[in-house]
């Protein structure tokens, strides 16, 4: 994505459906993360939401073309469906119109190829409108407005990277590393609030949480992000002042975990980390 952005490519991605956090790759600053609204101008209740969302666009009960096969016969039709993928395609369409309206070559000459995606992101966000159900920090800058985006004045050349636009973040891989930043994103909490429960889950002292996560955190985050039952069980522990036993969660994780993660959770000696600090070959985000 960094390469595509450096070549002037505007990248849009779905915020995600049904999950309580913004999914990858929408979480990256190079990407315009799109949540979904409905025809009434409200939010789609199954749309992912959070700080990483940039904009919202129609995504509930959207008409789309369909193709079905019955024997040797192929039928073409239209039907309604929902999802943040449709909000993404609408946003991408606005981006295409904006490039055509101003001329991509002219924009590149004015801002530089690598800055073009960030300029569009800024103009798009500043052209959004509030809508019923919109909440700051949940649905981005608001509902996209194609006409306002096309009519919006272009920023001055030296303002292309001003504060009105999401900051280019060369450190964004931190959110992928499986450390506290990853879990803070998944559960929408301050990192410090995650130290104690993660230490208990991994059977280590709190000061050992970050280095241990450096070895097996990506796999642990992968399992929690892709299994709603595991996710809800750990969240219930986070929300309970008197933390419940994590034995059940450990047992569920152990049945699918790699050897390093399974060993870390099942070893009965919590005094220090037990695994060699190296990357696991297990699934990663």
C-alpha separations of 189 from 112, 173, 204 in Å: 37, 19, 21
Residue 140 tokens, joined: 């981005």
**Residue 1 in 3-state DSSP?**
coil
CA–CA distance, 258 with 216 (Å, rounded to integer): 9
pLDDT at 155: 92
120 and 10 Cβ atoms separated by less than 8 Å: yes
pLDDT at 279: 46
Q: Print burial letters for 243-279: b (CB count within 10 Å at least 16), e (below 16).
A: eeebeebbeebeeebeebbbebbeeeeeeebbbeeee
Phi-psi category of residue 112: left, alpha or beta, with phi > 0 → left and psi -120 to 50 → alpha: left
100 and 17 Cβ atoms separated by less than 8 Å: no
Residue pLDDT, tens place only, 4-37: 888 999 999 999 999 999 999 999 888 999 999 9
Query: Within 10 Å of residue 143's Cβ, how many Cβ atoms?
Result: 22
pLDDT at 54: 95
pLDDT at 136: 80
pLDDT below 50 — which residues of the chain? 162-171, 270-280
Phi first, then psi, for residue 229 (nearest 5°) are -65, -45
Question: Which residue, among 101, 119, 90, has the nearest Cα to 5 in the 3D structure?
Answer: 119
Domain limits, the chain = 2-170, 173-266
pLDDT at 285: 55
CATH of 2-170, one of 3.40.50.200, 3.30.420.40, 1.10.10.10, 1.10.3470.10: 3.40.50.200
CA–CA distance, 252 with 229 (Å, rounded to integer): 9
pLDDT at 153: 95
């Amino acid at each position: 994505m960094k390469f595509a952005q450096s070549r002037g490519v505007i990248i849009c991605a779905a915020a995600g459906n049904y999950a309580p956090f913004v999914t990858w790759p929408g979480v990256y600053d190079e990407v315009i993360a799109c949540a979904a609204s409905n025809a009434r101008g409200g939010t789609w209740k199954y749309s992912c939401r959070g700080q990483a969302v940039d904009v919202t666009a129609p995504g509930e009960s959207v008409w789309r073309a369909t193709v079905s096969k019955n024997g040797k016969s192929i039928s073409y039709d239209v039907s309604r469906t929902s999802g943040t993928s449709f909000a993404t395609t609408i946003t991408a369409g606005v981006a295409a119109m904006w490039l055509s309206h101003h001329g991509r070559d002219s924009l590149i000459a004015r801002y530089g190829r690598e800055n073009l995606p960030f300029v569009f992101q800024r103009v798009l966000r500043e052209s959004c409108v509030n809508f019923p159900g919109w909440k700051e920090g949940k649905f981005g800058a608001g509902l996209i407005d194609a006409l306002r985006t096309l009519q919006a004045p272009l920023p001055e050349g030296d303002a292309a990277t001003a504060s009105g636009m999401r900051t280019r973040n060369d450190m964004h891989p931190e959110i992928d590393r499986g450390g506290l930043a990853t879990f803070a994103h998944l559960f929408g909490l301050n990192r410090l609030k995650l130290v104690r429960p993660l230490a208990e889950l991994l059977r280590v002292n709190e000061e050992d949480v970050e280095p241990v996560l450096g070895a097996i955190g990506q796999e642990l985050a992968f399992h929690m992000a892709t299994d709603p039952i595991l996710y809800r069980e750990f969240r219930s522990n986070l929300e309970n002042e008197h933390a419940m036993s994590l034995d059940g969660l450990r047992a569920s994780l152990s049945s699918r975990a790699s050897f390093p993660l399974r060993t870390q959770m099942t070893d009965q000696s919590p005094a220090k980390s037990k695994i060699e600090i190296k990357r696991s070959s297990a699934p990663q985000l």
